[in-house]
């Protein structure tokens, strides 16, 4: 397990002024009228930094047009760590269990969410690594029942599933090449999905959840590839959201068809346990 260095990814829809120490880089994805954008960003950034120490700082901006309770606040959490994450092995649709670190991470994010505003429902991918993480959260947040949705599954990576990533190019060169392609219609040999298909199924799932839970706060537990697709839906013209860490907290506001990211990549709850910075899983090329 690496030493703890809390990290937030940098959404690219609109960037605030940045500051950095050895451990923090902050940027925000917001939509404000141009006439007040700069003033609001400067004032909010300064106030947030004053009230929060750098190790716990996260984005806290949201779309002002949806502040009347007509939006759903969806807390999207990546599953806890698995041995395959640690080994750099490709999971996809294969049903891999949490390791001990992953179980600790799930307990910590559950404890955190139980102390925040009330959770109305918990949704999850039906794969064990996500489902066990979700069940841990649901038990801590009032004993809720987890609602599973296969559309929240990780991308099916076909022939690559089960391979160690660093060996994939040699063992399955066509699938590896398809995997690295930026084409959204590129399927992966062996029954793997295209990025476009992944995007359609997981964003449709989150939209259904948002429509059902307006005025409520819900949790969705899913996977790195799915969460990057959700980020792309909210910030279609933004830069990459970066690595999606195990049990990172990413908060979306859904106001009808309009999506806004309120918080991204927050792992402040993992200060005592740490998180996996290396190994395959959660980065821009993984599933």
Percent of the chain with pLDDT over 90: 68
Is the pLDDT assigned to residue 245 strictly greater than 60?
A: yes
Any catalytic annotation for residue 79?
yes
Q: What is the pLDDT of residue 17?
A: 28
Tell me which residue of 28, 21, 6, 52 sits closest to 247, measured CA to CA.
Answer: 6
The C-alpha atoms of residue 128 and residue 169 are separated, in whole angstroms, by 28
Question: Residue holding tokens 């400067």?
Answer: 42
- Spot the catalytic one: 7, 79, 213, 223: 79
pLDDT given at position 270: 94
Catalytic option among 73, 135, 154, 216: 154
Closest CA to 15 of 30, 33, 25, 32: 30
The tens digit of pLDDT for each residue in 230-239 reads 999 999 998 8
Instruction: List binding-site positions.
Output: 78-85, 129
Per residue in 37-86, pLDDT tens?
A: 334 433 433 333 233 333 333 444 344 345 467 999 999 999 999 999 99
What does the pLDDT read at residue 10?
Answer: 44
Average pLDDT rounded to a whole number, residues 170-188: 97
Residues in the annotated binding site for substrate: 78-85, 129
Q: Is 240 exposed, middle or buried (0-12, 13-18, 19+ CB in 10 A)?
A: middle
Residue with tokens 């300064």: 46
Q: What is the mean pLDDT of the chain?
A: 81
Annotated catalytic, 73? no
**Token pair 């994450």 in the structure block, residue:** 85
- Tell me the pLDDT tens digit for each residue of 65-78: 454 679 999 999 99
Burial of 276 (0-12, 13-18, 19+ CB in 10 A): buried
User: What is the CATH class of 72-263?
Assistant: alpha beta
If you average pLDDT over residues 25-31, what whole number do you get? 42
State the pTM of this model: 0.79
On the question of pLDDT at 164 being above 60, the answer is yes
Condensed to tens digits (0 to 9), the pLDDT of residues 116-136 reads 999 999 999 999 999 999 999
Question: What does the pLDDT read at residue 275?
Answer: 77
H helices present in the chain, as ranges: 34-51, 83-87, 100-114, 128-140, 165-171, 173-180, 195-212, 224-234
More confident residue, 286 or 156: 156
Residue 78's H or E segment, with its range, is strand 72-78
Is 260:210 a contact under the CB 8 Å cutoff? Answer: no
Spans of all domains in the chain: 72-263
């Amino acid at each position: 397990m690496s030493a703890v260095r809390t990290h937030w990814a940098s959404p690219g829809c609109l960037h605030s002024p940045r500051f950095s120490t050895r451990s923090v880089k902050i940027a925000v994805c917001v939509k404000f009228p141009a006439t007040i954008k700069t003033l609001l960003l400067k004032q909010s950034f300064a106030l947030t930094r004053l009230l929060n120490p750098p190790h716990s700082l996260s984005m806290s901006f949201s779309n002002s047009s949806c502040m009347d309770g007509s939006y759903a606040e969806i807390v999207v959490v990546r599953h806890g760590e698995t041995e395959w994450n640690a080994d750099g092995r490709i999971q996809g649709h294969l049903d891999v269990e949490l390791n001990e670190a992953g179980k600790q991470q799930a307990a910590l994010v559950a404890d955190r969410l139980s102390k925040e505003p009330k959770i109305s429902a918990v949704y999850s991918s039906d794969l064990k690594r996500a489902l066990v993480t979700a069940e841990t959260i649901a038990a801590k947040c009032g004993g809720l029942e987890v609602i599973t949705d296969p559309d929240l599954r990780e991308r099916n990576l076909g022939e690559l599933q089960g391979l160690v990533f660093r060996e994939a190019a040699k063992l399955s060169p066509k699938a590896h090449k398809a995997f690295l392609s930026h084409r959204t219609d590129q399927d992966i040999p062996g029954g793997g999905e295209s990025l476009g298909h992944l995007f359609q199924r997981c964003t449709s799932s989150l939209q259904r959840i948002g429509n059902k839970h307006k005025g409520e706060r819900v949790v969705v537990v899913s996977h790195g590839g799915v969460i990057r697709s959700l980020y792309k839906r909210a910030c279609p013209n933004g830069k990459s959201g970066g690595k999606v860490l195990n049990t990172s907290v990413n908060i979306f506001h859904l106001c009808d068809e309009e999506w806004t990211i309120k918080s991204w990549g927050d792992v402040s709850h993992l200060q005592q346990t740490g998180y996996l910075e290396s190994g395959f899983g959660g980065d821009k090329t993984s599933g």
